[in-house]
C-alpha cells in the first residue's frame, strides 16, 4: 500500500540512502557476519554521507533535520538493502539522543561531532546478568567520591560492546532507592573498564554483542549525563523512542521477507506450476500483505506522533509489540513457502528468520510491552490490586 507520510524530499533522501547501503554496506555483509562485527570504517563512511544523527544541530556537524522520517528511512533502507547487523539505528536514533537530550553544552560539544562523523561509535549498557526486564534489580553501583564517581559492576548482551568508543552505562547511585540510578559515559581506555567476550548468537551475526566489566572505574563528574539519581526517569523517557526504532526495524525486516518470498513463489515450480499458483500460497501471502499494511500504517502514525512530541509510552509499546510479533509470523510463513531452500543459509530468508527471533525480546519483551499497554489502560496491579 502506498505510504502517505513521505514528501518528495524524503523520497530523494531514500534514493541516496539506498545507493549507499547497496554500494558501501551490502557487499561487506557476508565478511562481517563471518568475523562477527562490522568494520569501524563503515560508521565513518555513513558519517561522511550525512547518514548519522541526521537530527543533530548544525553547530556539531549535523543536518538539523528535526524530522524522524529521515531516521526511519535510514533504518528501513539499511535492513532492506544493507546489513541488519550494522547498528546505525542504535548509534544514531537510540543512544545519541541521550547525549543530545541530557548532555550539557560542554558534553554535547565534546561528544556529538565525533558521533556525527562516525569517529566515535556508541552503545548503551543497562542489562546485567541478573537484571533485564526488571531494571530496578540492577546491581552495578557508582559511588560519589567527591571529584569523581567510582563505578563497579558488569553488563551483558551489549550491542556494539566491542566497537563502542562511548558507552552510556546505567548504575545504582542511591542504595536507599531502587529507582536511584545514574547514567555515566564510559570512554574507551578508561582504567578498570574491560570488554568481555563477543557473545555467540542465534542471529544478527554481524552485530557484536558483548559483556562489559567495570572494576573501580574512576568516572569524572563531567561524564555524568543529567542528574546522577534520575537515570530511571531518563531511561523511561528515552525508551519510547527506542521502541519505535525497534518497531520500524521489525516492519522493514518483515516487508523484506515478504518481498523476496513473493518473487520466490513466482519462480519455484511444483506439480507443473509456480508454487504461487496454489491457493494456499496465495492466501498466506494475501493475509500477510493485509497485516503488513495495517501494521505499517500504525507505525507510520507513531513516527508522526514522535515528530509531534506526542508519542506516549504505551503507543510505542503497542508499536513494538505488534510489529515484532508480526515479523515472527511473517518470517515463519515465508520460510515455509521456500520449502527446504528456506532452511539454507544461502537463501536470505533463513537469515531473516533467525535474525527475527530477538525482536520479541530486546528493547523490552512482548510481555513487558503488554504490561506497559495494560498500565495505559489503568490496569496497574499496584493501583487496582
Ligand atoms: C542480541 C541482543 C542485543 C541486546 N542489546 C542490548 C543493549 O545494547 N543494551 C542493553 O542494555 N541490553 C541489551 N540487550 C538485553 C535485552 O534488552 C534483554 O535481554 C531484554 O530486555 C530481556 O531481559 P532478560 O534477558 O533479562 O530477560 P528476563 O527479564 O529474565 O525475562 C525472561 C522472561 O520472563 C518474562 N518476564 C519478565 N518479567 C515479566 C513480567 N513482569 N511479566 C511477565 N513476564 C515477564 C520475559 O518477558 C521473558 O519472557 C540485548 C539482548 C540481546 C539478546
Give residue limits of the domains in the chain: 8-120, 123-228, 233-384
* Sign of the alpha-carbon dihedral angle for 42, 156, 55, 309: positive
Which residue's CA lies nearest to atom 24 of ligand 1?
A: 132
For ligand 1, mutation pick of 157, 171, 246, 320 (most atoms within 8 Å of CB): 157
Task: Please choose, from the candidates 194, 13, 163, 14, the residue with its C-alpha nearest in 3D space to the C-alpha of residue 86.
Answer: 163
**Ordered alpha helix ranges (H), the chain:** 8-20, 29-35, 41-48, 68-81, 88-89, 96-102, 105-117, 231-267, 279-307, 313-338, 348-356, 366-376, 381-384
Ligand 1 atom nearest to 127, measured from its CA: 11
Distance of CA 125 to the CA centre of its chain: 13
Residue 213 CA to ligand 1 centre (angstroms)? 19
**Do residues 315 and 303 make contact, with C-beta atoms less than 8 angstroms apart?**
no
- Whole-number Å distance, alpha carbon 155 to ligand 1 midpoint, is 13
Closest protein CA for atom 32 of ligand 1 = 133
DSSP 380: -
In whole angstroms, give the CA distance from residue 106 to residue 129. Answer: 34
143: three-class secondary structure by DSSP: strand
Q: 68-81 vs 8-20: helix axis angle to the nearest 10?
A: 40
Q: 226: helix, coil or strand?
A: coil
Write out the catalytic residue numbers. 242
Q: Whose CA is nearest to atom 30 of ligand 1?
A: 132
**What is the predicted pLDDT for the residue at 177?**
86
Count of alpha carbons within 13 angstroms of residue 290, beta-carbon side: 5
> Of 324, 322, 319, which Cα lies nearest the Cα of 244?
319
Task: Show the ligand 1 pocket: residues with CB < 6 angstroms.
Answer: 123-127, 132-134, 157-159, 201, 204, 209, 358, 361-365, 367-368, 371
Rounded Cα distance between 249 and 271, Å, is 37
CA–centroid distance, 133 to ligand 1, in Å, is: 5
pLDDT at res. 385: 62
By C-alpha distance, which of 217, 237, 216 is closest to 226? 237
Decide if domain 123-228 falls under CATH 2.40.110.10.
Answer: yes
Query: DSSP states of 233-265 as a string?
Result: HHHHHHHHHHHHHHHHHHHHHHHHHHHHHHHHH
Atom of ligand 1 nearest to the CA of 131: 26
Closest ligand 1 atom number to CA of residue 90: 8
Q: Report the pLDDT value the prediction gives residue 47, as an integer from 0 to 100.
A: 98
The residue contributing the CA closest to ligand 1 atom 50 is: 157
For residues 20 and 49, the answer to whether their CB atoms sit within 8 Å is yes
User: So what CATH class is 8-120?
Assistant: mainly alpha
The preferred substitution site among 94, 132, 364 for testing ligand 1, maximizing ligand atoms within 8 Å of CB, is 132
For residues 240 and 311, is the Cβ–Cβ distance under 8 A? Answer: yes
Instruction: List, for residues 82-112, the tens digit of each pLDDT value.
Output: 999 999 999 999 999 999 999 999 999 999 9
pLDDT of residue 60: 98
By most ligand atoms within 8 Å of CB, the mutation choice from 37, 91, 127, 160 for ligand 1 is 127
Q: Nearest residue CA, atom 16 of ligand 1?
A: 362
pLDDT-flagged residues of the chain (< 70)? 385
Enter the CATH code of domain 233-384: 1.20.140.10
Alpha-carbon distances of 150 from 136, 184, 367, rounded to whole Å = 20, 10, 35
Please state whether beta strands 209-220 and 193-198 pair in parallel, antiparallel, or not at all (unpaired).
Answer: antiparallel
Burial (CB < 10 A; 0-12, 13-18, 19+), residue 152, is middle
Pseudo-torsion of CA 363, 55, 160, 98, nearest 10°?
-60
Amino acid at each position: 500500500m502506498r505510504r502517505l507520510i513521505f514528501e518528495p524530499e524524503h523520497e530523494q533522501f531514500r534514493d541516496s540512502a539506498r545507493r549507499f547501503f547497496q554500494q558501501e554496506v551490502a557487499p561487506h555483509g557476508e565478511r562481517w557476519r563471518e568475523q562477527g562485527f562490522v568494520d569501524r570504517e563503515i560508521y565513518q563512511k555513513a558519517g561522511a554521507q550525512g547518514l548519522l544523527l541526521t537530527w543533530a544541530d548544525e553547530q556539531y556537524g549535523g543536518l538539523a533535520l528535526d524530522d524522524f522520517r529521515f531516521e526511519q528511512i535510514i533504518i528501513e533502507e539499511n535492513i532492506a538493502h544493507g546489513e541488519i547487523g550494522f547498528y546505525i539505528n542504535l548509534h544514531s536514533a537510540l543512544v545519541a539522543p541521550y547525549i543530545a537530550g541530557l548532555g550539557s553544552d560542554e558534553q554535547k560539544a565534546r561528544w556529538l561531532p565525533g558521533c556525527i562523523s562516525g569517529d566515535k561509535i556508541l552503545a548503551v549498557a543497562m542489562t546485567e546478568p541478573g537484571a533485564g526486564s526488571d531494571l530496578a534489580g540492577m546491581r552495578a553501583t557508582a559511588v560519589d567520591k567527591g571529584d569523581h564517581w567510582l563505578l563497579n559492576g558488569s553488563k551483558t548482551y551489549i550491542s556494539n560492546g566491542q566497537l563502542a568508543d562511548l558507552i552510556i552505562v546505567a548504575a545504582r547511585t542511591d542504595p536507599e532507592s531502587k529507582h536511584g540510578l545514574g547514567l555515566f559515559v564510559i570512554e574507551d581506555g578508561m582504567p578498570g573498564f574491560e570488554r568481555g567476550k563477543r557473545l555467540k548468537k542465534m542471529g544478527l551475526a554481524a552485530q557484536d554483542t558483548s559483556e562489559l566489566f567495570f572494576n573501580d572505574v574512576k568516572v569524572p563528574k563531567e561524564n555524568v549525563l543529567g542528574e546522577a539519581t534520575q537515570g530511571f526517569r531518563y531511561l523511561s523517557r528515552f525508551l519510547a523512542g527506542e521502541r519505535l526504532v525497534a518497531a520500524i526495524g521489525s516492519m522493514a525486516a518483515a516487508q523484506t521477507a515478504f518481498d523476496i518470498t513473493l518473487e520466490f513463489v513466482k519462480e519455484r515450480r511444483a506439480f507443473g506450476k509456480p508454487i504461487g499458483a496454489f491457493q494456499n500460497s496465495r492466501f498466506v501471502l494475501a493475509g500477510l500483505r493485509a497485516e503488513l499494511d495495517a501494521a505499517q500504517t500504525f507505525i507510520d502514525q507513531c513516527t508522526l506522533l514522535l515528530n509531534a512530541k506526542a508519542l506516549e509510552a504505551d503507543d510505542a509499546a503497542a508499536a513494538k509489540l505488534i510489529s515484532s510479533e508480526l515479523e515472527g509470523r511473517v518470517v515463519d510463513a515465508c520460510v515455509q513457502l521456500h520449502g527446504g531452500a528456506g532452511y539454507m543459509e544461502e537463501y536470505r530468508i533463513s537469515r531473516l528468520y533467525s535474525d527475527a527471533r530477538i525482536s520479541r525480546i530486546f528493547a523490552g519483551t512482548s510481555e513487558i510491552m503488554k504490561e506497559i499497554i495494560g498500565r495505559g489502560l489503568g490496569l496497574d496491579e499496584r493501583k487496582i490490586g
